[in-house]
Amino acid sequence: MQKEIIKNKKELSTNPLRKDALDILETGYQAVLTENILAKSISLKKDILKIQNKKYNLSDYKNVFVIAFGKCANQSALFIESILEDKITDGIVLDVELEKFKKLKSQKGSHPLPSEKNIKATNLIKEISEKAGKDDLVLVFISGGGSALLSSPVEGIDSEFLAQINKDLMDNGVSIGETNIIRKHLSRIKGGALAELIYPAKLVSIIFSDVPGDDISVVASGPTVRDLTTKEDAKMILESYSLENPKSSLGEAISFLSETPKSEEKFENVDNILLVTNKIALEAIEKKADELGYKSLVESFDIQGEARKLSVKLVNEDSLDNSCRIFGGETTVKIIGEGKGGRNQEFALASLETLSKDILVLAVASDGRDNSDVAGAFVDFELFQKMQKEDLDWREYLDDNNSFEFFEKMGTQIKTGKTGINVADFYLILRK
């Protein structure tokens, strides 16, 4: 095994159940390390670039451009640059951190909310896209986080208003699928618009899925995928949520909606390749749990819903002795308080409602950031005893959306740093 992803694993492993849970989780992280996945899936022999089962003869193209955006962008770009070297003509890499490249240009953007610097970086991506001609090859690496990073709003929307719309969508607990329908119809680069810009060049899009169900039209709002949703779909969603929250920006956003590209011709020269999903990680987790003597089962690859409600529902279900129940997906949080935290810490905190003595509940973000500098957290009976000793009321923290402070005090936050992975979230329910 390579260097461990979980940085505080030893510190957290204070009882056998915790150690097992963290060993199982570590295996899941290792299974989807970006550099490992790329090395298994992409190779170059002479001029033949092979990506999974597709082959591209680089001698057939005048220029090769590389575009990468999302939380796996830097690792993807480092890898493809190491393979192609001087065969790359030009390229842009947009991530949440800067990186040093030989041929590619690194851009740092903001996440989870778009910003003016994201728009400026996206303009550079658009310039390269428009420069590509019919005899050129454009390799695009797309990963989660791309929806916020790749920002080119329709006319009339500035970076400040765009950020407010995105914040209101998050605060109202709008699902990632519905959120990205709205994002597509407020953008000049999402919902297939990037593919339209690159046409007629050959476009090969390499996709890292971070969305429930692995719908590639949802990952980073589908910039290279022909969009089947409409402006009317986006309008209906905005109308629904703006009625619930009339003071938000969502009602005002309706007037700016535009249609996404629908011409099939612009997508005839596009290969969209789904490279990695959470299924790889969850199956590795399942195998490791089996090895440790648990009756393990991946119950869902794509759970969705409000974190606190879903947590109580799942933990309340019967678990067998020596079992490891495994879930992947992405929950939402409805903001009602003023605290700090993310959907995974809220999921773990809410599970205290029905937690029994022999159960551990763990929830983490694969990218290592649960709306904070920690990946997530876990709860168990040891935490419950400590909480009682310190006379903490977990419900007060939950009501204030303040899961981060609760787990910081309890010492069960999981720390990984930026993993360079983004395949949604992992959830474990272990019972001895």
- Whether 428 has a pLDDT exceeding 90, the answer reads yes
Question: 243 vs 153, which has greater pLDDT?
Answer: 153
Residue 335 dihedral angles phi and psi, to the nearest 5°: -80, 115
Asked if residue 318 has pLDDT above 60, the reply is yes
Residue 40 sits at the vertex; the CA angle it makes with 34 and 42, to the nearest 5 degrees, is: 90
What distance in Å separates the CA atoms of residue 350 and residue 412, rounded to the nearest whole number?
A: 15
pLDDT at position 245 is: 84
Per-residue pLDDT of 139-184, as tens digits, reads: 999 999 999 999 999 999 999 999 999 999 999 989 999 999 999 9
Instruction: Please write the tens of the pLDDT for every residue from 51-61.
Output: 999 999 999 99
Q: Is the pLDDT of residue 118 over 70?
A: yes
Residue 182, pLDDT score:
98
The pLDDT of residue 32: 95
Three-state DSSP string of 200-243: CCEEEEEEECCCHHHCCCCHHHCCCCCCCCCHHHHHHHHHHHHH
Closest CA to 366 of 204, 207, 209: 209
- Over pLDDT 90: what percentage of the chain? 95
Q: Per-residue pLDDT tens for 251-277?
A: 999 999 999 999 999 999 999 999 999
Q: Does domain 9-31+278-431 have CATH number 3.90.180.10?
A: no
Find out whether 276 and 211 touch, Cβ atoms under 8 Å. no
What the block records as the tokens of 20 is 């097992």
Architecture of the CATH domain 34-152+187-226+261-276: 3-Layer(aba) Sandwich (3.40)
Confidence of residue 247 (pLDDT cuts 50, 70, 90): confident
CA distances from 327 to 95, 297, 399 (A): 27, 9, 25
Q: Which of 295, 399, 424, 302 is CA-nearest to residue 346?
A: 399
Query: Tell me, what's the pLDDT at 201?
Result: 98
Domain ranges for the chain, please list them: 9-31+278-431, 34-152+187-226+261-276
The string of pLDDT tens digits covering residues 61-72 is: 999 999 999 999
- Sheet (strand 425-431) strand order: 295-303, 323-329, 425-431, 359-365, 376-379, 413-414
Quote the CA–CA distance of 364 and 347 in Å, as a whole number.
Answer: 9
The pLDDT value given to residue 287: 98
Name the CA radius of gyration of the chain, rounded. 22
CA distance 27 to 282: 9
- 383 confidence band (pLDDT: 50, 70, 90): very high
DSSP 312: H
Please state which of the ranges 5-19, 46-60, 135-149, 204-218 shows the lowest mean pLDDT: 204-218
Q: What's the mean pLDDT in 199-208?
A: 98
Residue-wise pLDDT for 81-112, tens only, equals 999 999 999 999 999 999 999 999 999 999 99
Q: Is the pLDDT of residue 2 over 80?
A: no
Helix (H) or strand (E) holding 134: none
**Predicted confidence (pLDDT) at residue 1 exceeds the cutoff of 70:** no
Measured CA angle at 228 (ends 225, 229), to 5 deg = 115
- What is the average pLDDT score of the chain? 96
Which residues does residue 357 pair with via DSSP β-bridges, in sequence order?
Answer: none
Q: Both tokens of residue 118? A: 């994201």
Residue pair 152/122 in contact (Cβ under 8 Å)? The answer is: yes
Contact 124, 194 (CB under 8 A): no
- Strand extents, DSSP E, 85-135: 90-95, 105-108
Q: Cα separations (Å) of 309 from 12, 18, 237, 301, 348? A: 27, 24, 22, 18, 11
